[in-house]
């Protein structure tokens, strides 16, 4: 948001002016100008709070509330000085007193007291309570919202920049409601100060008029009561506007439209309610003594509004029917549909019949989240996985989904309708169905959706069912990425690279490597979650290696050497790479046991030795995970592919890097050893 250069000095200079206003006398003409500015400033704040779509759009409100309160108190001091000193405080106060009092002091005092009661008892008290509750709820819900953002980021439904924006918005929301909780006290104090000041002006003015100016009692009462009531009203009106603004801000809910648009849309959402109100207005007009014409006019207006709401609903229904008819005009050729059903989809989601709403319900937006996931995976791994086909299946149990890769089930989970997944340690008291998270294996509960806020307040992380499915899909896509990368995908990637780096492509394909051989290398990289974003460097490394040998294992290692800094940085955190080392004696034994094979090099060791190595590695990684780190195993470059293959057979899922990759100067990482793997009893960190 752009501002004028001079606007940055307005608030600092204004605050300095307010301080001077408290101690320096000002003429009555300048006081008139400042009083008018106070009223208009408060009116502007009120209108801005009404047209703000959400509270954070007016995040400076708490500070402006403090400035406006100090401004009014400064004007009270200045006007009190003029009233008690000169018996005259300018035209604005005099006019307000004359119009309001109207020659009757009692009426003026009653009106002033009514304004004070409205501000202090009704508006200020309610706004203070709402601000206090809103601040407490915002602070209590902050950890749950942060965890939900992390869950969406891990699922790929949002990008890293979007996650940062949401985290900043959550923090700003908590800060705003905390500030409003304190700022509401200013409004309360302002109302009390207004009552005290008017009493001082009235009593002090009468005393000064009689003692110093020699006025009779009634003349002193008439003169100073007029000025006191005028002064009180001209300052209480801005105070009331600010109190209403405070109530408007703290009672706004999370909507994307201003107050006027939201209120008009929601009040006109029911045609039946408008017609019942119209009939009620007519019936009230028939009561003897009631103004029949007035009630008939109000009833007619409500009836016209109900007709407008009905026309709007009819237009919306016609639009939906047209969209459904357009969707139904697709080719219904049975032979074509049969061929489509015969084809095996690369990636497919089967939904139980009661989960079809995941696709149709805009609140779940499963298709939109899949689109975001494809974008996220493309940025992360450098390839776009195929379109995901979604269809219902009567064979699945209610609330169940299945994810298929190439027609084979790769995962299954639950996403019951009307439920949300709560994860955390203190969820035992929450009502729901116990379950296990299909991705991380965490214990959780499917709780009713209406209990989401209560679960977040108890410290649980609450995830909607679409996010659970997308997180599961993301894990399967990463694990099955080699299968999902087709020959056609490689061709598209190659043609895209040729447009920007033709020489790297021409030196590699179609000779000495075919697209199929390139595909095999890229699949091997994806199997270890090595990104393909820097495809030009991969092709250049393959081109150099292919001149010497086209051995698949050697090609993969050549590509990894070209991507060494990228591989190491993906496994590091805050510039530190935590590594597990092989015991030197064990590493030497592995080198001696290294044997070439048709499917790649292998390490031939006794089975009991392999089990001890895998057990040592599992214990070290478990302890490192408990300490909050995720180490990688490093070894000699000649051993790396064989060690990875050996650990994969033992289901020890630990990234394996060579010494060259872990210590590549381009990565600029600090390597920290957290354990040593031995062919003996598991070592300790």
As a whole number of angstroms, the distance between CA 347 and CA 388 comes to 5
Q: 576-582 and 670-677 as β-strands: parallel, antiparallel, unpaired?
A: parallel
As a whole number of angstroms, the distance between CA 159 and CA 155 comes to 10
Q: What is the pTM of this model?
A: 0.55
Residue 154 has pLDDT above 60, yes or no: yes
Q: Percent of the chain beyond pLDDT 90? A: 28
DSSP of 2-70: ---GGGGGHHHHHHHHHHHHHHS---HHHHHHHHHHHHHHHHHHHHHHHH-SSGGGGTTHHHHHHHHHH
Q: For the segment 413-470, what is each residue's pLDDT rounded down to a tens digit?
A: 999 988 899 988 778 888 888 888 888 788 889 998 888 888 888 888 888 888 899 9
As a whole number of angstroms, the distance between CA 552 and CA 490 comes to 16
Q: Which CATH number fits domain 485-562: 2.40.50.140, 3.40.630.10, 1.10.260.40, 1.10.8.540?
A: 1.10.8.540
Burial of 398 (0-12, 13-18, 19+ CB in 10 A): exposed
| pLDDT of amino acid 263 | 62
CATH fold of the domain at 571-685:
Rossmann fold (3.40.50)
Q: For the segment 483-528, what is each residue's pLDDT rounded down to a tens digit?
A: 999 999 999 999 999 999 999 999 998 889 999 999 999 999 999 9
Alpha helices in 480-606 (DSSP H): 481-484, 487-498, 502-506, 515-527, 535-546, 552-562, 564-571, 584-592
As a whole number of angstroms, the distance between CA 205 and CA 208 comes to 5
As a whole number of angstroms, the distance between CA 619 and CA 608 comes to 17
The band of 259, judged by pLDDT with boundaries at 50, 70 and 90, is low
Token output for 226: 């007029």
CATH fold of the domain at 343-481:
Glutaredoxin (3.40.30)
The band of 684, judged by pLDDT with boundaries at 50, 70 and 90, is very low
**Domain residue spans of the chain:** 14-256, 268-313, 343-481, 485-562, 571-685
Give mean pLDDT, residues 581-606. 91
- Whether 343-481 and 485-562 share one fold: the answer is no
Q: For the segment 164-182, what is each residue's pLDDT rounded down to a tens digit?
A: 887 777 777 777 767 776 6
| pLDDT of amino acid 426 | 76
Give mean pLDDT, residues 632-654. 90
Residue 530 has pLDDT above 90, yes or no: yes
| pLDDT of amino acid 685 | 41
166 close to 158: Cβ distance less than 8 angstroms: yes
β partners of residue 612: none
| Cis amide prior to 248 (ω within 30 degrees) | no
Residue 134 has pLDDT above 70, yes or no: no
């Amino acid at each position: 948001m752009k501002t004028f250069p001079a606007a940055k000095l307005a608030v600092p200079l204004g605050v300095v002016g307010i301080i001077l206003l408290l101690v320096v006398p000002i003429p009555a003409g300048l006081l008139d100008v400042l009083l008018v500015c106070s009223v208009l400033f408060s009116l502007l704040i009120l209108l801005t709070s009404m047209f703000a779509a959400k509270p954070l759009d007016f995040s400076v409100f708490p500070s402006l509330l403090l400035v406006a309160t100090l401004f009014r108190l400064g004007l009270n001091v200045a006007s009190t000085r003029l009233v008690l000193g000169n018996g005259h405080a300018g035209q604005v106060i005099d006019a307000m007193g004359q119009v309001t009092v109207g020659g009757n002091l009692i009426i003026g005092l009653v009106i002033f007291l009514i304004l004070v009661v409205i501000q202090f008892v009704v508006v200020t008290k309610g706004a203070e309570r709402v601000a206090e509750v809103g601040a407490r709820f915002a602070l209590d819900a902050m950890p749950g919202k942060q965890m939900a953002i992390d869950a969406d980021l891990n699922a790929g439904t949002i990008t890293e920049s979007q996650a940062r924006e949401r985290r900043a918005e959550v923090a700003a929301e908590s800060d705003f409601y905390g500030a409003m909780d304190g700022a509401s006290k200013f409004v309360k104090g302002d109302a009390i100060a207004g009552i005290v000041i008017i009493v001082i002006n009235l009593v002090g003015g009468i005393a000064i008029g009689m003692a110093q100016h020699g006025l009779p009692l009634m003349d002193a009462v008439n003169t100073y009561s007029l000025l006191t009531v005028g002064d009180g009203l001209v300052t209480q009106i801005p105070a009331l506007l600010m109190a209403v603004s405070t109530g408007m801000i703290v009672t706004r809910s999370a909507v994307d439209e201003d107050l006027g648009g939201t209120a008009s849309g929601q009040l006109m959402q029911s045609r039946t309610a408008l017609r019942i109100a119209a009939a009620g207005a007519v019936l009230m007009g028939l009561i003897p003594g009631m103004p029949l014409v007035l009630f008939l006019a109000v009833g007619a207006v409500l009836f016209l509004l109900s007709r407008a709401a009905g026309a709007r609903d009819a237009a919306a229904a016609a639009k939906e029917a047209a969209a459904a008819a357009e969707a139904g005009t697709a080719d219904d050729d049975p032979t074509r549909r049969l061929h489509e059903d015969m084809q095996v989809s690369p990636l497919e989601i089967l939904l139980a019949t009661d989960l079809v709403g995941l696709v149709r319900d805009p609140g779940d937006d499963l298709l939109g989240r899949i689109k975001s996931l494809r974008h996220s995976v493309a940025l992360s791994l450098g390839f776009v996985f195929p379109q995901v086909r979604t269809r219902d299946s009567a064979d699945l149990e209610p609330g169940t989904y299945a994810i298929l890769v190439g027609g084979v089930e790769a995962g299954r989970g639950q996403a019951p309708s009307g439920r949300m997944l709560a994860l955390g340690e203190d969820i035992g008291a929450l009502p729901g169905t116990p379950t296990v998270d299909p991705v991380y294996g965490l214990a959780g509960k499917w709780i009713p959706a209406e209990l989401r806020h209560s679960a977040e307040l108890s410290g649980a992380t609450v995830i909607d069912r679409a996010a659970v499915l997308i997180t599961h899909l993301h894990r399967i896509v990463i694990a099955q990425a080699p299968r999902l990368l087709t020959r056609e995908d490689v061709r598209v990637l190659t043609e895209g690279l040729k447009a920007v780096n033709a020489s790297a492509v021409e030196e590699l394909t179609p000779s000495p490597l075919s697209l199929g051989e390139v595909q095999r290398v890229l699949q091997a990289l994806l199997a270890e979650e090595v990104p393909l974003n820097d495809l030009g460097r991969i092709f250049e490394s393959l081109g150099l290696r292919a001149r010497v040998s086209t051995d698949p294992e050697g090609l993969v290692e050549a590509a990894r050497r070209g991507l060494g800094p990228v591989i190491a940085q993906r496994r590091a955190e805050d510039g530190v790479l935590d590594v597990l080392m092989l015991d030197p004696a064990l590493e030497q034994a592995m080198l001696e046991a290294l044997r070439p094979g048709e499917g790649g090099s292998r390490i031939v060791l006794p089975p009991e030795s392999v089990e001890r190595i895998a057990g040592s590695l599992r214990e070290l990684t478990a302890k490192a995970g408990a300490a909050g780190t995720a180490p990688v195993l490093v070894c000699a470059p000649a051993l790396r592919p064989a060690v990875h293959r050996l650990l994969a057979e033992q289901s020890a899922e630990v990234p394996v890097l060579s010494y060259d990759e872990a210590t590549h100067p381009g990565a600029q990482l600090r390597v920290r050893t957290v354990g040593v793997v031995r062919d003996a009893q598991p070592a300790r960190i």
